[in-house]
Amino acid sequence: MEKERSEFSSPDWYEVVYAAVRAIPCGKVATYGQIAGTVSSISLTARQVGAAMRFAPQGVPWQRVVGAGGRLPIARRSPELKLLQIRLLAQEGVEFYSGDHDRIDMARSQYSADIDSK
DNA sequence: GATCTGACCACCG
DNA sequence: CCGGTGGCCAGAT
């Protein structure tokens, strides 16, 4: 069924990205590059994923998408969103490095896609 | 159709 | 650890 999105010029592939983000379970996070890799049907880069997140509608857990190495590149754009993301993730049980609330413990909370069990 | 920009990422110093 | 640079691909002008 078609989606009415005349308010913004959101390309079709946005929906695909959102679907991948929704697939991230609670308490886990994925990197932008990871999402881009998950959507192998199209050739997307991490930047494209970020651009899509900006238009993320309600129901999409955008907070579970983080930068590589557990960093929060969103901080450059909006310090407020950074704090919001940290708070939301902490609520879901995602752990941060001790003493550094800006970094996520990827080794523990990164979502392993079905690509390869490693 | 050329150019700039971007919720990125890896590399180097 | 911090900052700059190039590469990536799609949208906006």
Q: Say which nucleotide is closest to residue A100, CA to C1' distance.
A: C1
Nucleotides of B under 7 A from a protein CB: 6-10
| Residues sharing a CB contact under 8 Å with residue A60, sequence separation 6 or more, in sequence order | A18, A21, A22, A53
Q: What is the pLDDT of residues A39-83, one digit of tens each?
A: 877 888 999 999 999 999 999 999 999 999 999 999 999 999 999
Give mean pLDDT, residues A21-49.
92
A36 CA from C5 C1′ (Å): 23
Residue A102 DSSP symbol? E
User: Residue A11, CB, less than 7 Å from strand C?
Assistant: yes
H-state helical runs in chain A: 13-22, 32-38, 46-54, 74-77, 79-92, 106-109
pTM of the entire structure? Answer: 0.88
User: Residue A44, CB, less than 7 Å from strand C?
Assistant: yes
